[in-house]
Structure 1
């Protein structure tokens, strides 16, 4: 290859680099910035910030936890859905729990602080906590009355299909001793509590449906986190079971609370996408504005 051809190729490559750098590194960002300044888009581009009396109090697209320093729900506020982002709604730690439907067995340890609950037990415990707070029935299929997953390890010889033909030991794997198991017996064998640190995977893992209805007053969004951990919305069903508590805490009527819920309920996007939803941050701010809480 002659030197002049080599130079021409490198000069052409340099020109392409400079042109693409100008387009993608200067022109495109400037165009995006300019479009973001248009009326109706500026606030969204700035993070959809919410200000009260000139002070920024949050964002309409990022949820908040309405709890005290110990994580207990503040009775005067509507509660958000659970969050797996950091300590809750941390934009720098946006994430899901990464637990799936097969996560039904807790990891038990002698130290209660080291217990790692399964997704099933997490849902069960949240449902019980919401039910206790709102005065509704939080029982769910596959959950014990104490709010853990109702799961047994059935140990014994197996048949050709992998079923335990005759159990010799049955353990409630999510109930650590000395807890009394949620079932007395299973197929004629006394159910035992789980000894922390013991491995019961040798048995067949059997979730127990129980007699709870699938039509529970505690909706799904009250017991599961969103994929981002930042969702600021709850369902109208979750808001509805919180009405009585809010009304009592703020000394107002339930109809006044429901009127605010109706005003903050958004329908399906474009009329058919998603589900009706309520922005909890905006709803709680209007609660404080119209009906201040007095302890």
Structure 2
């Protein structure tokens, strides 16, 4: 009987070592060599330490920062998910109305319509991007809070607008963390 079981146990040990150790170490090593930044979470690090990841949305609330999309999971990367509220759900209507009122009170003179991605959470609740329209909607508020010309902020938005992936996939987008980091380089006008 041992003669029948032995090849199965040897094969089990060999496949366990191959798929449980060798393959993951090989893939991790290749990822570290070829895509080091992405393999380590695309962290943005300053002299004080990590500021966040370019891959995970964050809750920016200062008037001088661009604000991210709302998050159904309060930007908690451990619990990605949506609210599951459909278009007829009363709670969704109330949340959207409250978000629109908050955006309008932050910049009462804004004339553009409020972009949907500033009032609706993404499917994951962790989207690090907003549309260029959402960034332009916030440009005046950010410029006033930082004491810089709106034209400079709009130019910064254009520089940080990413195109479609491979020219055809997705929509143009702006990474909020990168854009807020770039704002630090603008000097207030005197």
Fold equivalence (TM over 0.5): yes
The structure with the largest alpha-carbon Rg is 1
**Alignment-derived partner of residue 95 in structure 1:** 81
Q: Give the SS at the match of 1:82.
A: coil
Per-residue CA distance 1:76-135 (angstroms, 9 max, x = gap): 1111110111xx21112222111112313xxxxxxxxxxxxx112212221222122233
Residue-by-residue CA offset, 1:228-269 (whole Å, 9 max, x unaligned): 111110011111111111111111111110111011100111
- C-alpha spacing 1:125/1:284, structure 2 compared with 1 (3 Å): same
Match of 1:146 in 2: none
CA contact (8 A) 2:160 2:175 kept: yes
Is the CA contact (8 Å cut-off) linking 1:50 and 1:59 kept in structure 2?
yes
Secondary structure of the residue aligned to 2:184 is helix
Q: TM-score, normalised by structure 2?
A: 0.91
Instruction: Find the counterpart in structure 2 of residue 61 from structure 1.
Output: 55
User: What residue ranges of structure 2 are gaps of 5+ in the alignment?
Assistant: none
Tell me the residue number matched to 2:36.
42
CA RMSD of aligned residues (A): 1.6
Cα deviation 1:110-164 (Å, max 9, x = unaligned): xxxxxxxx11221222122212223336xxxxxxxxxxxxxxxxxxxxxxxxxxx
Alpha-carbon shift at residue 54 of structure 1 (Å): 6.0
Cα distance in 2, alignment partners of residues 225 and 265 from structure 1: 20
Residues 170-201 of structure 1: per-residue CA shift (max 9 Å, x gap): xxxxxxxxxxxxxxxxxxxxxxxxxxxxxxxx
Distance in 1 of aligned mates of 2:131 and 2:85: 22
Query: Which residue in 1 is equivalent to 2:169?
Result: 273
* 2:55 pairs with 1:82: no
Q: Which residue of 2 aligns with 1:259?
A: 155
Report the 3-state secondary structure (helix = DSSP H, G, I; strand = E; otherwise coil) of the residue aligned with 1:50. strand
SS at match of 1:278: strand
Please state whether the residue corresponding to 1:290 is helix, strand or coil.
coil
Alpha-carbon deviations, 1:32-82, whole Å to 9, x = none? 12111214x011001101112262111111111112xxxxxx111111110
| Partner residue, 1:289 | 185
1:46, 1:22 → 2: CA distance? 25
Q: Tell me what 1:123 maps to.
A: 96
Task: Say if 1:258 and 1:10 are closer, same or farther in 2 by CA, change over 3 A.
Answer: same
Equivalent of residue 131 in structure 2, options 229, 232, 235: 235
Distance in 1 (CA, whole Å) between partners of 2:185 and 2:4 is 68
Q: Which runs of 4+ in 1 moved over 4 A?
A: none
Aligned to 1:23: 18
Whether 2:159 is the aligned partner of 1:244: answer no
The number of residue pairs the alignment matches comes to: 187
Could you tell me whether the CA contact under 8 Å between 1:134 and 1:241 is conserved in 2?
A: no
User: Would the alpha carbon gap of residues 290 and 9 (structure 1) be closer, same or farther in structure 2, given more than 3 Å must change?
Assistant: farther
Post-superposition offset of 1:9: 2.3
| 1:134 lines up with 2:107 in the alignment | yes
Between structures 1 and 2, the one with greater strand share: 1
Higher helix share: 2
Unaligned runs of 5+ in 1: 1-5, 68-73, 105-117, 138-215
Q: TM-score, normalised by structure 1?
A: 0.60
| Pairwise CA distance, 1:7 | 2.2
